[in-house]
Amino acid sequence: MLKKYFPSILACLALAVLFTIVQVGISGGLLSGYWITNIYLMGINIILASSLNLINGFTGEFSLGHAGFMAVGAFTGAIVTANLGLPFPLAIIAGMLAAAIAGVIVGLPTLRLRGDYLAIATLGFGEIVRVVLMNIDYVGGASGMMGIPEVVNWPIIFISVVLSLLLIRNFIGSSHGRACLAVRENDLAAQMMGVNITYYKVLAFVIGAALAGLAGVLYAHYYSIIQPKEFSFMLTFDVLVMVMVGGLGSLTGSVVGAVLLTTASAFLQAIPELRMVLYALLLIVSAVFRPQGLLGEKEITLRTFERWGGVLYAALNRKQTE
Amino acid sequence: MGGIEQILTLDDVHVHYGAIWALKGINLTVGEGEIVSLIGANGAGKSTTLQAISGVVKSSAGKTTFRGEDITKVPAHNIVKKGIAQVPEGRRVFANLSVLENLEMGAYIRRDNKGIKQDMEMVLERFPRLKERISQVAGTLSGGEQQMLAIGRALMTRPKLMLLDEPSMGLAPLLVKEIFSIIQEINQEGTTILLVEQNARMALQISDRAYVLETGRIVLDGPAKELARQEDVKKAYLGG
Ligand SMILES: Nc1ncnc2c1ncn2[C@@H]1O[C@H](COP(=O)(O)OP(=O)(O)OP(=O)(O)O)[C@@H](O)[C@H]1O
Ligand SMILES: [Mg+2]
């Protein structure tokens, strides 16, 4: 009985410990402002990478529109709080909803088609969003929005990351996820087994878009200032590198990729040119030596730790079964 | 064919791929419990006929009736719910999923867990090789094993009619025989079969009736034994 819940209990404990360590580091003044910012960014990047992976890794589509969906979320959220004076939770709902609707508008016509249409359409979408935002005075035009309430703190980031990952994990693990996997493996055969392939492609795409929107809302309400030019293709490219390095089709891989690359760019902040070189190099190196990414399609689970010499877990397990 | 109930009827079915006119008015019937085969040269339109039935390609004109219901406009993912399973050309197993997961995908539309379990046992009994490789990734199976998996996956939908597209393609003679006898067994247990084959000799041997397709048109049809005796059929499809 206990054994069944043991992994979940352990996972919760690990999360609680992680949460507390960072919280103590922040409130105790042990972490510099620079690193606090980067920890928050890490969380936002985890949401971006894992949601892009849901689209590109698990359903096998190729979206390049994440910066666009993030921008939709960021500006919608900012309008809700800064312009309309409504509370932050409403900003989250509105931002995710707007990004999801944008996802339907882009996804529905293009996902019906085979091949690279989605990549092209999402690339175009990202650029259109940016240019349109630059020309709307209501959201500040090219200089963007200011005075967005700075409400995002560590608990909000942490909960958002955990809930996003749980949502994606449960989706993948459900019969919906199996259907998505079948579509990726062979869409014709999936269709013959009764999978509505357009529905699942669009569904996964829209969930991914909504989560990118969430990342955007968090981003806006941490920095308090947002400009359309921040949401350029380079942002999508960064997220793509995180997904590729971590492993297309591995959720924990996306977490690892996001953490690694956020840390790397934190160290290289002073020399942004070097950062771009590093990203490009990483992409090439991983494409040549490990095209499946660090984790391939595998997941880091408790078993992984067990195998890696988690003697404690094995021993505890043995005691319980006796 | 007096007395046999028609399970499938194609009435003047046309298919266009853009400018290519692949099917030019196919009329075809399959009776309940029959094995009917469709033979013809490469590019004659055999696969297209099966795909028109299963809704994967849209027919530009004509009507498909299955068990009295017009299914011409039914989308592909709903066809399997009507009781038609397709074993596609080239097997198309889910390469990165295990044998078990492939079979489970076959039962994707079903919710009767008890029945699914029964059918799983039945399939694994029929294909002991799959049972031995139950957790192996499907992409690493041999061609013959993949064919068995594709048939097993289709059986998991519990079909009334099974469409098989060149199940013997690329298989060694012994395995071809095995696959054909499996098709016969499946038929004897109550599943109607529509079979597309390059191996016309074997196909005609196990079939009740057959249709000969040439560039999108049916040019001959009749009882399989009679077709097998006709000189022009022998020359064109049976190698002499
Ligand atoms: N997706 C497609 N787009 C365009 N033309 C197609 C498509 N699929 C098939 N065709 C054309 O339709 C015709 C019939 O093809 P089909 O695949 O049905 O032949 P077949 O009888 O199954 O041949 P084979 O024995 O080689 O499998 C061919 O001329 C083929 O080139
Ligand atoms: Mg064919």
pLDDT value, residue A285 = 81
Q: Which residues of B are less than 8 Å from A186 in CB distance?
A: 92-95
Q: Rounded to an integer, what distance in angstroms lies between the CA atom of residue A62 and that of residue A314?
A: 40
The pLDDT-based confidence of B234 (bands split at 50, 70, 90) is confident
User: Tokens 């996003």 appear where?
Assistant: A164
CB–CB contacts below 8 A, A to B:
61
User: Taking CB atoms and a 6 Å cutoff, what residues make up the pocket around ligand 1?
Assistant: B 17, 20, 22, 40, 42-48, 89, 198
Q: Which of A192, A200, A298 to mutate to test the interface with B (most CBs of B within 10 A)?
A: A192
B77 touches chain A (CB under 8 A): yes
Given a cut of 90, is residue A303 above it in pLDDT?
Answer: no
Provide the token pair at B100. Answer: 């078990």
Given a cut of 80, is residue B76 above it in pLDDT?
Answer: yes
- Cβ burial B128-156 (10 Å sphere, 16+ → b, else e): eebeebeeebbeebeebbbbbbbbbbbbb
Q: Which residues of B are less than 8 Å from A188 in CB distance?
A: 56, 88, 92
Average of per-residue pLDDT across A216-226: 97
Residue with the larger pLDDT of the pair A300 and A128: A128
Computed from CA positions of residues A156, A161, A164, A167, in that sequence, does the dihedral angle turn out positive or negative? negative
A245-300 tens-digit pLDDT: 888 888 999 999 999 999 988 888 888 788 888 888 888 887 776 777 777 777 77
Cβ–Cβ below 8 Å for A192 and B54: yes
Which CATH architecture fits A33-321? Orthogonal Bundle (1.10)
Average of per-residue pLDDT across A146-154: 95
Cross-strand partners of B37: B195, B210
A164-219 tens-digit pLDDT: 999 999 999 888 888 999 999 999 999 999 999 999 999 999 999 999 999 999 99
B161-173 tens-digit pLDDT: 999 999 999 899 9
Q: Rounded to an integer, what distance in angstroms lies between the CA atom of residue B90 and that of residue B73?
A: 26
Q: Which of B51, B105, B155, B162 to mutate to test the interface with A (most CBs of A within 10 A)?
A: B105
Q: How far A9 CA sits from the closest chain B CA (Å)?
A: 29
Q: Rounded to an integer, what distance in angstroms lies between the CA atom of residue B150 and that of residue B171?
A: 14
SS3 A223: helix
Ligand 1 mutation pick, B17, B23, B196, B237, max ligand atoms within 8 A of CB: B17
User: Residues near B191 by Cβ (< 8 Å), separated by ≥ 6?
Assistant: B155, B159, B160, B161, B162
Q: Rounded to an integer, what distance in angstroms lies between the CA atom of residue B92 and that of residue B218?
A: 27
Phi and psi at residue A116, in whole multiples of 5°? -95, 15
The pLDDT-based confidence of B107 (bands split at 50, 70, 90) is very high
Q: How far B102 CA sits from the closest chain A CA (Å)?
A: 9
pLDDT value, residue A283 = 80
Q: Give residue limits of the domains in chain A.
A: 33-321
In 10 A of CB A309, how many CB atoms?
Answer: 9
Q: Which residues of B are less than 8 Å from A182 in CB distance?
A: 94, 97, 105, 108
Distance of CA B47 to the CA centre of its chain: 9
Domain B6-237, CATH number (from 3.30.70.600, 3.40.50.10880, 3.40.50.300, 1.10.10.10) = 3.40.50.300
Q: Which residues of B are less than 8 Å from A297 in CB distance?
A: 96
Q: Which residues of B are less than 8 Å from A185 in CB distance?
A: 94-97
A41-45, B188-192, B228-232: which range is least confident on average? B228-232
B116-149 tens-digit pLDDT: 999 999 999 999 999 999 999 999 999 999 999 9
pLDDT value, residue B3 = 59
Cβ–Cβ below 8 Å for B108 and A179: yes
pLDDT value, residue A312 = 56
Cβ–Cβ below 8 Å for B80 and A297: no
pLDDT value, residue B1 = 47
Given a cut of 80, is residue B201 above it in pLDDT?
Answer: yes
A271-285, B192-206, B217-231: which range is least confident on average? A271-285
Q: DSSP string covering A84-146, please? A: T---HHHHHHHHHHHHHHHHHHHHHHHHTS-TTHHHHHHHHHHHHHHHHHHT-GGGTGGG-B-
* B40 alpha carbon, closest ligand: 1
User: Tokens 């109930």 appear where?
Assistant: B5
Q: Rounded to an integer, what distance in angstroms lies between the CA atom of residue B201 and that of residue B224?
A: 10
Q: Rounded to an integer, what distance in angstroms lies between the CA atom of residue A168 and that of residue A145?
A: 31
Q: How far B103 CA sits from the closest chain A CA (Å)?
A: 10
A12-26, B207-221, B223-237: which range is least confident on average? B223-237
The number of residues making up chain A comes to: 322
Percent of chain B with pLDDT over 90: 89
pTM recorded for the entire structure: 0.85
Percent of chain A with pLDDT over 70: 91
Average of per-residue pLDDT across A302-320: 61
B92 touches chain A (CB under 8 A): yes
User: Tokens 């996964």 appear where?
Assistant: A204
SS3 B196: strand
Please provide the average confidence, as pLDDT, over all residues in chain B. Answer: 93
Residue with the larger pLDDT of the pair B198 and B188: B188
Whole-Å CA distances, A44 to A158, A219, A280, B117 = 10, 7, 21, 43
In 10 A of CB B36, how many CB atoms?
Answer: 21
A145-154, A306-315, B187-196: which range is least confident on average? A306-315
B58 touches chain A (CB under 8 A): no
In 10 A of CB B225, how many CB atoms?
Answer: 13
Q: Which of A112, A184, A193 to mutate to test the interface with B (most CBs of B within 10 A)?
A: A193
